[in-house]
C-alpha cells in the first residue's frame, strides 16, 4: 500500500485518504461477499426478487435488531458501520425501487425507543391496515450466538418460538400476495415449520457483516442473484443429527460415537432417500436456471479430472456451483456413502451464456485411515474396488443424476504409512457403516513423560564468575535477518529468563488488541501484535466487519474468500497488527456449538479450501494468519476442561483434515491450540498432536500458541510443541523457571522452543520497521540518577503500566506479578560502589526486588515502611549498596510478590571501594 512509505508534511493527509479509500473498498467487498453467501431455500411462485414498485411491509424485531456478527472473538464492536435490514430496505425505497409501509416501521421503532425487548406485540388493526397497503410481507427471524456458550434445542433458539409461529400464521392469514422469511442466523436452525407454510419463500442471510442490511436488500430486490449453497445439512429435526444424543449429556467430556459419520456423511449413509433431511448439503436456489451438460470424468496419472459445461437457461444473470462427490467401496473399513471431492463456481453468466468448468483432485484423496489394523494399522489406504463419482449443483442433485464415472482400484494400495497418534482411551463405542457399533476397550490415560534430569549441558546455567568481565559484542536479531550472524548464536547469548519471556505472550500495544509476542528490545525483538478474528480486526479502531465464516463458506468461492483475506491483511497493516487470529477451522459437528459461526462447515474439504484461501489472502500483505482452534473444539460448555473422545480415524479424516489442507496449501505462520482435551490430554500439552502430527507428518515449521487464559501447565506445553503461552493463563514465568531448575525442562528445550518464534517475528511488518531503543541512562555523575520505572527497555508479560501516578513523584506506576521483570539500559561513567533505592508507592505487605547486572545477581532490596505522607502510610524500598563497573550494561529488576508496584529507582555514586 503506497501511503505507508510516505514522508513529509502531507504524509498524514495522504495516509488518511488511503485509509478512507480502503474503508470504501472493504465496504463494497463485504457487501459483495455477503450477497454471494446468502442461500435461497424456497421461492414460492417467484416471490423473489421483489418487483420494482412493489409495496412491502416489514415484520419482526430482527429488521432492526439485525445481528451482523456473533459475540466474543468473532465480534467486531467498532465496525465502520452497522447496516440493519430496515436500513437496507429504506435505501432501496429512497431510490424508488420499492415502497415501504411506514406505519408498521414506526411502530417497531417506537417500541424499541420506549425500551421494548424481544418481539413487538402485533395488533390485528395494524396487520389489517398493512395488508391493504402492501403486497409483499417480509418477516425477519433472528438468532444470536457467542463464544463461551452453546445454543439450545429449545423454542426461541434452535426452534421457532410460539410467538414466531403465531405471527407467521397471522401474516399468511392476513392475505398478503407474497410472504418471504429472512433467517438472520449464526448457523443451522429448525426448518420443519416450512412444511406448514408451503406458500412462503425462505432466504438465509446468516450474520452478514457490517453491510448486511444492504446485502439482504440487494438480494430481496434483485440487484444480486443469490448463488449461495449450504455448507451444512438442515435436518428434519435436531434429534436426527447423530451427535444430538451426546453433545450436552456430560459436562466434562463428549463421546464422538458417530465417528466419521458427521453431517451429510451420516444422512447419505443411513438415509439415502433424504427423508430425514429438509435441505441437503450444497443446496441453494437461484433466480435463474442452469443446465449441466457434457460431464466428463477421466483419470490422468494420479489425478481424477472433471469438466462440466454450465449454461444459464433462465431469464437473468447468475452464478452456479458444480460439486463432485465420490462413493468409496465399503470394504473392510466401512465408508460414508458420499464425500465431497471437488467443487468450482462459475463467473457471472448472462442468460444463454455457458462456461466450462475444469476440476481435478488426487486419487489418494479418496483414501481412508485404518486405525485398528483391519488391513494395515495406522495407514492411509485405498481399498480395492470401484470408486463411483457423482456430479451436480447440490448433493441431492448429484444423487439424482446418478453415477457419472468410476475409478477402478484393482489392488488395495497403501498411500502412506504412519504411526498411531492421539488414540482414544475412554471412547466406549463408535458407529460403523452397517449401522452397528464397534465396542472399544477403555484404558488409562497415557502416562506423562518422565522428568528430565539436568546435566552439564542443560538445565540451570552455571553460576557466572564473581568478578565483572567484558561481554562479547551483542548479536541483534537484525544481524540474523541480514545473515551477518546465525540464529543459533543469537539464541545462545540469551539468558534463561529471556528465553522464558519469548515463550510467553506480552501486553497489547494496539488499543483493543489481544496481546503480543516478543518484546525484547535489547536484542532487536519487537512486540509483534495480535488481533482477534475471524469476522474482522477486533480492536479499538474502526475496522471492517466481514460476514461470518459460515456465510463465506456458503459462497463456495475460494477466490472471493482470498480477496476478503487480502483486504483484511491490508487493514491489519494499516492498524499495526502483525498477526490476525483467523481463520477458525473446526468442524460443524453439532448445530448447537455456540462458536459454529466462527467456523466454515460440516465438511473438512470445504473448511480446508476456504481456510487456505483466506490465509493466502491475509499473508499476501505480509500479515501472519493464525489458524485456530487446534483441534476438536466441538462445543463451548466447560470448554477448558471438556475431553473430546474421538477415534483416531475420525480425528484424522474429519477433525484434522481441514487443518491439514489449509496448512499444506497456504502455510499459515501460526497455529492456535485449543482449550479442550483430546482423548484425555490437553490440546496445548498434546505432543502427539503438536509434534508428531503437525510438525513431523505435516512438515509444519511455524509457531504454535495457546489460546488465552488456558489452564494447562506451561512446561508441558513447551515439551509438547506449543511454543508460546499467551497472556493470563494459570501459570507464570516463575512456574517455568522452577521447572527449569528442577530439570523438568532444560535450557536446550527453551532454545529450541524460541527458534520458530524468532523466525516468525522476522517475517512481520513490525520487525521490518523496528528500530531498537539503545540509548542508555547515564549514572555516576553529580547527584543521584532517578530512572522512571515506566521507561524500561523491555519487560516480561506479567507487567503493565497503571493508570494512576505516584503521589510523591508524579510518575507512572508499573505493576508486576510474582517472578516478572523490568530491564533497563544504563551507562556507568565510573567504576565504584553505588546506592540503589527503589521508589515504591503506598501499599501493604513485604516486597522483594532482586537486582541483576548483565544477567548476574548483584543484590536485593526489601520494601520498608517510611513514615507518612499526606496522612497516609508511604513505603520505600531498602537502599542497598551495589558495585557497578564502568561501561554499558543491562540492569534487570525481578519482583517477588503477588502484586508489586514501583514508580522509579535511584542510583547514586558512593565512592570507590
Cα dihedral sign for 786, 788, 793, 796?
Answer: positive
Side-chain-side CA neighbours of residue 15 (13 Å): 13
What kind and span of H or E run contains 413? strand 413-417
Alpha-carbon dihedral angle through residues 14, 20, 24, 26, given to the nearest 10 degrees: 90
What count of other Cβ atoms lies within 10 Å of the Cβ of residue 58?
24
CB 286 within 8 A of CB 226: yes
Check if the beta carbon of residue 710 is closer than 8 Å to that of residue 729: yes
Q: What's the CA angle centered on 75, arms 73 and 76, to 5 degrees?
A: 120
Catalytic residue among 496, 590, 692, 707: 707
- Collect all residues with Cβ–Cβ distance below 8 Å to 479 and sequence separation of at least 6: 485, 490, 524
The answer to whether 172 and 200 have CB atoms below 8 angstroms apart is yes
DSSP 342-383: EEEE---BPTT-EEEEEEEEEGGGG-EEESS-SSSTTEEEE-
Beta strand extents in 53-175 (DSSP E only): 55-59, 99-100, 136-142
C-alpha 521: how far from its chain's center?
29
Q: How far is CA 844 from the centre of its chain?
A: 42
d(CA 41, CA 429): 36
Query: Residue 479 catalytic?
Result: no
Strands of 570-673, DSSP E? 579-581, 624-630, 643-645, 670-673
**Rounded to whole angstroms, what are the CA distances from 765 to 535, 575, 577, 578, 769?**
22, 11, 8, 6, 7
Give the whole-angstrom CA distance, residue 298 versus residue 296. 7
Contact between 286 and 225 (Cβ < 8 Å): yes
Provide the sign of the torsion angle of the four alpha carbons 79, 80, 86, 92, taken in this order: negative
**Separation of alpha carbons 388 and 329, rounded Å:** 8
Q: Is 34 helix (H, G, I), strand (E, B) or coil?
A: helix
- Peptide bond preceding 304: is omega within 30 degrees of 0, i.e. cis? no
d(CA 726, CA 513): 13
SS3 626: strand
The secondary structure element, H or E, covering residue 755 is helix 747-762
Query: Residues 596, 72: contact at Cβ < 8 Å?
Result: no
All residues at 6 or more sequence positions from 405 whose CB lies less than 8 Å from its CB, including other chains: 297, 298, 306, 388, 389
CA distance 211 to 87: 10
DSSP character for 558? Answer: H
Rounded to 5°, the CA angle 181-239-648 comes to 115
Compute the C-alpha angle 540/546/547, nearest 5°.
135
Closest CA to 81 of 635, 685, 544, 719: 544
Cα first-last separation, the chain: 59
Angle at 455 between CA 452 and CA 456, to 5 degrees: 155
Interatomic CA distance for residues 769 and 889, integer angstroms: 25
Give the residue numbers annotated as catalytic, written as ranges: 707
Amino acid at each position: 500500500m503506497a501511503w505507508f512509505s510516505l514522508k513529509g508534511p502531507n504524509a498524514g493527509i495522504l495516509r488518511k485518504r488511503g485509509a478512507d479509500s480502503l474503508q470504501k473498498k472493504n465496504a463494497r467487498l463485504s457487501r459483495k461477499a455477503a450477497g454471494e453467501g446468502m442461500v435461497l431455500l424456497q421461492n414460492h411462485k417467484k416471490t423473489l426478487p421483489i418487483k420494482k414498485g412493489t409495496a412491502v411491509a416489514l415484520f419482526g424485531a430482527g429488521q432492526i435488531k439485525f445481528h451482523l456478527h456473533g459475540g466474543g472473538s468473532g465480534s467486531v464492536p467498532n465496525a465502520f458501520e452497522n447496516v440493519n435490514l430496515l436500513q437496507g430496505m429504506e435505501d432501496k425505497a429512497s431510490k424508488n425501487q420499492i415502497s415501504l409501509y411506514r406505519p408498521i416501521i414506526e411502530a417497531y421503532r417506537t417500541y424499541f425507543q420506549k425500551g421494548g425487548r424481544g418481539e413487538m406485540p402485533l395488533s390485528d388493526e395494524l396487520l389489517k391496515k398493512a395488508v391493504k397497503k402492501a403486497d409483499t410481507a417480509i418477516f425477519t427471524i433472528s438468532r444470536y450466538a457467542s463464544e463461551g456458550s452453546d445454543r439450545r434445542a429449545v423454542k426461541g433458539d434452535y426452534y421457532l418460538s410460539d410467538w414466531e409461529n403465531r405471527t407467521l400464521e397471522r401474516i399468511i392469514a392476513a392475505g398478503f400476495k407474497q410472504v418471504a422469511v429472512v433467517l438472520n442466523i449464526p448457523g443451522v436452525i429448525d426448518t420443519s415449520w416450512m412444511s406448514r407454510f408451503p406458500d412462503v419463500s425462505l432466504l438465509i442471510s446468516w450474520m452478514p457483516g457490517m453491510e448486511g442490511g444492504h446485502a439482504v436488500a440487494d438480494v430481496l430486490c434483485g440487484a444480486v442473484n443469490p448463488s449461495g449453497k449450504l455448507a451444512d445439512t438442515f435436518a428434519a429435526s435436531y434429534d436426527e443429527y447423530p451427535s444430538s444424543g451426546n453433545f450436552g449429556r456430560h459436562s466434562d467430556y463428549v463421546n464422538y460415537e458417530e465417528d466419521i459419520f458427521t453431517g451429510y456423511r451420516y444422512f447419505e449413509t443411513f438415509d439415502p432417500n433424504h427423508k430425514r433431511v429438509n435441505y441437503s448439503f450444497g443446496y441453494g436456489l437461484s433466480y435463474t436456471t442452469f443446465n449441466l451438460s457434457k460431464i466428463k470424468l477421466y483419470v490422468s496419472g494420479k489425478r481424477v479430472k472433471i469438466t462440466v459445461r454450465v449454461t444459464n437457461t433462465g431469464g437473468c444473470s447468475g452464478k452456479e456451483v458444480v460439486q463432485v462427490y465420490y462413493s468409496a467401496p465399503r470394504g473392510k473399513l466401512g465408508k460414508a456413502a458420499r464425500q465431497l471431492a471437488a467443487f468450482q463456481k462459475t463467473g457471472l453468466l448472462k442468460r444463454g451464456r455457458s462456461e466450462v468448468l475444469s476440476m481435478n483432485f488426487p486419487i489418494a484423496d479418496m483414501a481412508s485411515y485404518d486405525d485398528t489394523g483391519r488391513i494395515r494399522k495406522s495407514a492411509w489406504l485405498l481399498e480395492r474396488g470401484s470408486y463411483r463419482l457423482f456430479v451436480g449443483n447440490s448433493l441431492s442433485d448429484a444423487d439424482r443424476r446418478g453415477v457419472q464415472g468410476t475409478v477402478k482400484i484393482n489392488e488395495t494400495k497403501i498411500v502412506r504409512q504412519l504411526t498411531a497418534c492421539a488414540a482414544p482411551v475412554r471412547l466406549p463405542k463408535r458407529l460403523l457403516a452397517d449401522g452397528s457399533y464397534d465396542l472399544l476397550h477403555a484404558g488409562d490415560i497415557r502416562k506423562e513423560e518422565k522428568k528430565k534430569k539436568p546435566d552439564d549441558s542443560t538445565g540451570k546455567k552455571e553460576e557466572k564468575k564473581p568478578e565483572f568481565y567484558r561481554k562479547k559484542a551483542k548479536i541483534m536479531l537484525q544481524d540474523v535477518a541480514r545473515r551477518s550472524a546465525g540464529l543459533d548464536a543469537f539464541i545462545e547469548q540469551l539468558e534463561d529468563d529471556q528465553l522464558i519471556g519469548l515463550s510467553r505472550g506480552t501486553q497489547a500495544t494496539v488499543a483493543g488488541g489481544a496481546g503480543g509476542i516478543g518484546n525484547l528490545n535489547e536484542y532487536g525483538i519487537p512486540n509483534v501484535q495480535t488481533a482477534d478474528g475471524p469476522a474482522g480486526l477486533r480492536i479499538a479502531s474502526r475496522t471492517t466487519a466481514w460476514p461470518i465464516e459460515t456465510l463465506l463458506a456458503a459462497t463456495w468461492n475460494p477466490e472471493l474468500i482470498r480477496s476478503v483475506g487480502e483486504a483484511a491483511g491490508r487493514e491489519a497493516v494499516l492498524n499495526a497488527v502483525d498477526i490476525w487470529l483467523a481463520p477458525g477451522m473446526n468442524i460443524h459437528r453439532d448445530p448447537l456449538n455456540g462458536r459454529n459461526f466462527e467456523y466454515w462447515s460440516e465438511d473438512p474439504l470445504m473448511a480446508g479450501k476456504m481456510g487456505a484461501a483466506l490465509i493466502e489472502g491475509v499473508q499476501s500483505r505480509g500479515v501472519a494468519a493464525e489458524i485456530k482452534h487446534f483441534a476438536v473444539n466441538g462445543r463451548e460448555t466447560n470448554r477448558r476442561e471438556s475431553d473430546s473422545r474421538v477415534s483416531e480415524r475420525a480425528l484424522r479424516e474429519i477433525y484434522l483434515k481441514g487443518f491439514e489442507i489449509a496448512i499444506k496449501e497456504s502455510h499459515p505462520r501460526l497455529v492456535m491450540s485449543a482449550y479442550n482435551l483430546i482423548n484425555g490430554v490437553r490440546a496445548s500439552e498434546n505432543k502427539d498432536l503438536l509434534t508428531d502430527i503437525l510438525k513431523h507428518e505435516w512438515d509444519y515449521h511455524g509457531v504454535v500458541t495457546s489460546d488465552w487464559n488456558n489452564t494447562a501447565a506451561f512446561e508441558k506445553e513447551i515439551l509438547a510443541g506449543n511454543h508460546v503461552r499467551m497472556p493470563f493463563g494459570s501459570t507464570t514465568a516463575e512456574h517455568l523457571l522452577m521447572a527449569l531448575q528442577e530439570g523438568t525442562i532444560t535450557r536446550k528445550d527453551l532454545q529450541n522452543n524460541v527458534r520458530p518464534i524468532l523466525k516468525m517475528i522476522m517475517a512481520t511488518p513490525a520487525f521490518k520497521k523496528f528500530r531498537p531503543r539503545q540509548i542508555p541512562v547515564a549514572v555516576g555523575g553529580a547527584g543521584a540518577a532517578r530512572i522512571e520505572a515506566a521507561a524500561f527497555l523491555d519487560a516480561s508479560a506479567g507487567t503493565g503500566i497503571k493508570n494512576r501516578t505516584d503521589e510523591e513523584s508524579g510518575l507512572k506506576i508499573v505493576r508486576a506479578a510474582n517472578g516478572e521483570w523490568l530491564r533497563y539500559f544504563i551507562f556507568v561513567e565510573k567504576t565504584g560502589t553505588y546506592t540503589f533505592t527503589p521508589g515504591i508507592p503506598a501499599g501493604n505487605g513485604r516486597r522483594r526486588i532482586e537486582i541483576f547486572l548483565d544477567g548476574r545477581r548483584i543484590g536485593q532490596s526489601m520494601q520498608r515502611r517510611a513514615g507518612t505522607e499526606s496522612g497516609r502510610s508511604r513505603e520505600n524500598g531498602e537502599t542497598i549498596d551495589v558495585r557497578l563497573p564502568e561501561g554499558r550494561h543491562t540492569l534487570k529488576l525481578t519482583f517477588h510478590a503477588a502484586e508489586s508496584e514501583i514508580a522509579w529507582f535511584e542510583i547514586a555514586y558512593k565512592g570507590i571501594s
